Amino acid sequence: MKNLTQHAQFPVLVLFVASFFWGLSWLPLKSLNQMGFDGAVLIFFSYGLLSLVFLPLLFLQRSYLVSHLKPWLLIFLLGGGANFVFNYALIYGEVIRVMVLFYLLPLWGVLGGKFFLHEHVDAKGWLAAGLAISGAFLIVGGFKVFETPPSWIDFLALLSGFLFAMNNVVFRANQDFPMIPKLSALFIGTTVMSGLLFFIQGAEIPQDVSLPAWQLLAFYGLVWLLISNYGSQWGVTHMPASRSSIIIITELVVAVISAVLIANETINLIEGVGGVLIVTAAVLEALRNTDEEKRTT
């Protein structure tokens, strides 16, 4: 019987499930925040639990870590920063707005590949970048942005997408980087950065939070985040970039639909057009990846 992990569609299923969990990640985050966990405390404990699980595994690969410390530290800073800022924005911001602004990934991916990896950018790449910029402009209010500047949550959402795209540039430059060191850098980086904010704010561990709330936090950290992070990284590394780029858009679709149905969020016509432009940019970037794969095969 053929091994399930070798089945052609298995990575697609894994990435789809992980993307579904990412798209719904706002739900446990906002629920836990309402139960009494401040943003920095919530992120610190949830990613701290994952870090504790991965530390022994990282120790077993310490020889590899020593010889590849630079890319590990880059993932620690960029990936950890992206996770921290993204989660913080989701906790305090509007789900649809944060997710759409985060999805300026095509713009940052094109620019990062051009200036850091010296990749050739064709017409599709520049068109994707232009559509992404146009979509973001509409999402933050169009020409009204010159009257009322975007909020700090908008800035965090944009920053999270930028950091995540730069982290992906590091991934592309180090494609043989094993899963355990890669994920440990993401988890530990997120824990350290949220811990720093926790310390700077002078926050305290909440004393009036119920036991079920702590149990939900443990479940979110050890199960939900593990499925989201491990599944997405495993799926991406086991399929062509063109396919994974399309499937990952599931995150945005699930987030928007769930926010409308569960959180009663709304999106006006201008914001909707902006979202369509950004999704179109993501599809164009996926098609560009397809062309690149054909040239290298």
| pLDDT, average across residues 65-88 | 93
> Measured between alpha carbons, how far is 206 from 73 in angstroms, rounded to an integer?
31
Contact at 8 Å (CB) between 181 and 68?
Answer: yes
* 145 token code pair: 């942005």
In total, how many domains does the chain have?
1
pLDDT over 80 (residue 32): yes
pLDDT 10s digits, 135-179: 766 766 655 544 556 788 988 988 988 888 788 778 877 778 888
Any domain includes 262: yes
> Measured between alpha carbons, how far is 266 from 274 in angstroms, rounded to an integer?
14
> Measured between alpha carbons, how far is 252 from 267 in angstroms, rounded to an integer?
14
How confident is the model at residue 145, as a pLDDT? 46
Any domain includes 1: no
pLDDT 10s digits, 50-75: 999 999 999 999 888 888 899 999 99
Any domain includes 6: no
Size (the chain), residues: 297
Given its phi and psi angles, is residue 36 left (phi above 0), alpha (psi -120 to 50 degrees) or beta?
left
Local confidence band at 134 (pLDDT 50, 70, 90 cut-offs): confident
> Measured between alpha carbons, how far is 114 from 143 in angstroms, rounded to an integer?
29
Instruction: Output the CA angle 83-87-92, nearest 5 degrees.
Output: 155
Any domain includes 2: no
Any domain includes 21: yes
* 82 token code pair: 């992206």
Contact at 8 Å (CB) between 35 and 216?
Answer: yes
Contact at 8 Å (CB) between 265 and 246?
Answer: no
Range of the domain at 288: 12-296
**Residue owning tokens 């569960």:** 262
pLDDT 10s digits, 89-123: 999 998 888 887 887 766 666 666 666 656 666 67
Any domain includes 89: yes
pLDDT: which is higher, 200 or 283: 200
pLDDT 10s digits, 221-247: 999 999 999 988 888 777 765 566 667
pLDDT over 80 (residue 15): yes
Buried b (16+ CB within 10 A) or exposed e, 56-84: eebeeeeeebeebeebbebbbbbbbbbbb
Any domain includes 280: yes
Any domain includes 53: yes
Which range (8-12, 136-140, 276-280) has the least confidence?
136-140
Local confidence band at 187 (pLDDT 50, 70, 90 cut-offs): very high
> Measured between alpha carbons, how far is 135 from 194 in angstroms, rounded to an integer?
30
Instruction: Output the CA angle 93-94-96, nearest 5 degrees.
Output: 135
Q: In sequence order, which ranges of 174-249 are alpha helices (DSSP H)? A: 179-200, 211-219, 225-237, 241-248
* 264 token code pair: 């009663």
